[in-house]
Structure formats: C-alpha cells, structure tokens
Amino acid sequence: MEAGEGDVSFLMEELAIIGPSKRPGERRPTLKVLTASSPAFAAAKTRDLELSARVSQKGNETVDAESGETLLVVEAPVHPHNSRFAPTPTLELADTQVPPGMSPTNVLIRADFSENEDSPRQLQILHARGIVSQELMDLLKDRLKLDRGAMKRHRTIVFASVRIGDAVRVTNLTTVMPKCCCGGYRCI
C-alpha cells in the first residue's frame, strides 16, 4: 500500500529483477536477485524460475539462467471497472536524438506518472548495462510522456527498456494501473 493524495491510497505492484550468476567452479549459472520490491516476493519468484528450469532440463529445453538475460517479473493488482477505472495509456518518447557525448547504455526503468501529469513524477533505474549519468536521468524525465488521449486519467506505472546508441529507443515492457483504495475501504 502507498499513500496518495486525500483519502486515496494505492495497492502497488511487486517486482523482481533476476539474472544469472556464475561462480568459479560452477558448471551452470544460478539465478540471482538483482533487485526486488520485497525479499519474500523475490524468493517466491526465484523458486518458481528454478522449478521451471528443472522442468525444462527434463524436457531438454534451454534453461533461462544459461541465456545470460536479465528477467523482470512484475505482479500487479487488477483495477476493477469502477468509477476510478481508466484505460491504459501509451508510453511515448518525445525525441529520439542522442545528445553529443552521451555514452551508449541499456537501462531497465520504472516510471511513475501521477494522474495529473504526462511526464514521470519519479523515475528509477532498476538495472543498467553501461553508465547511468545525471544527464541520462534528465533526458528520460524530459522525453518520456504518456499519451492518454481524451481518456480519463489515472496514476500509471510503466516498466520499459531504454537503449541509448545511435538513437534513443524505448520498449514498453508493461504498464500497471495501481488499484485505488478510497476512504476506509481496504482494497486488498
């Protein structure tokens, strides 16, 4: 739960970023939690992935830890179709030009948009391959926008992959509409 304005609070998402970790002498990489919203959620999702990997090994499929990829796991409440429900907006990038001197990088972000603003009120780098400078943070805060059209507005959380190379490229991974809890009513 997270407090909002007035008597509104929000039931937020849980997240875990899990990647491969190989220690000297190990035949295969194991899964390592890189960051998570809670230790319990991270432990549960790691167990799920390890179980899935064991099942995949028996079926001679590729094991996720061996791919070297980082995995984002997000679980979010489903917002009911009530008076506060709003359609999911679209994440857009205002400009794809890379400023001179900016280093190539690839970052996984969590952008938190209030219901009143189309620019992120908060931006977190969850995982990075490359340099995360203040210039990069400012660029993302300035250029990431929500397109809500004429739709009703609602607090929105966007998870996206951002790649800085010859251009700025954004891939929206998932969009979450936190569940509203109003007044004395608890929405859990």
What does each of the 188 residues of the chain score in pLDDT, given as a tens digit?
A: 888 777 778 889 999 999 888 778 777 778 889 999 999 999 999 888 888 766 655 554 444 445 567 889 999 988 778 777 788 899 999 999 999 999 999 999 999 999 889 999 999 999 999 889 999 999 999 999 999 887 788 899 999 999 999 999 999 999 998 987 765 555 55
Do the domain assignments include residue 164? yes
- Other CB atoms within 10 A of residue 27 CB: 5
Q: How far apart are the first and last CA of the chain?
A: 9
Domain match, 176 and 98 both = yes
Do the domain assignments include residue 91? yes
Across the beta sheet with 14-21, what order do the strands follow?
A: 30-36, 14-21, 71-75
Nearest to 136 by CA among 111, 108, 161, 164: 164
The sign of the torsion formed by the CA atoms of 62, 63, 66, 68 equals positive
Cα(128)–Cα(116) distance, integer angstroms: 29
Query: Can you give the pLDDT at residue 21?
Result: 81
* Contact in structure between 170 and 90 (CB atoms under 8 Å): no
Domain match, 38 and 121 both = no
Token duo for residue 158:
């966007």
Cα(169)–Cα(166) distance, integer angstroms: 9
Query: Can you give the pLDDT at residue 181?
Result: 75
Nearest to 37 by CA among 132, 114, 107, 126: 126
Do the domain assignments include residue 8? no
What total of structural domains would you count in the chain? 2
Domain match, 63 and 87 both = no
Do the domain assignments include residue 36? yes
Do the domain assignments include residue 93? yes
* Contact in structure between 97 and 169 (CB atoms under 8 Å): no
- Other CB atoms within 10 A of residue 30 CB: 13
Domain boundary residue, one of 75, 93, 127:
75
Domain match, 58 and 84 both = no
Provide the phi-psi class of 112: left if phi over 0, else alpha when psi is between -120 and 50, else beta: beta
* Contact in structure between 17 and 126 (CB atoms under 8 Å): yes
Which domain covers residue 21, as residue numbers?
14-75
Do the domain assignments include residue 100? yes
Query: Can you give the pLDDT at residue 60?
Result: 47
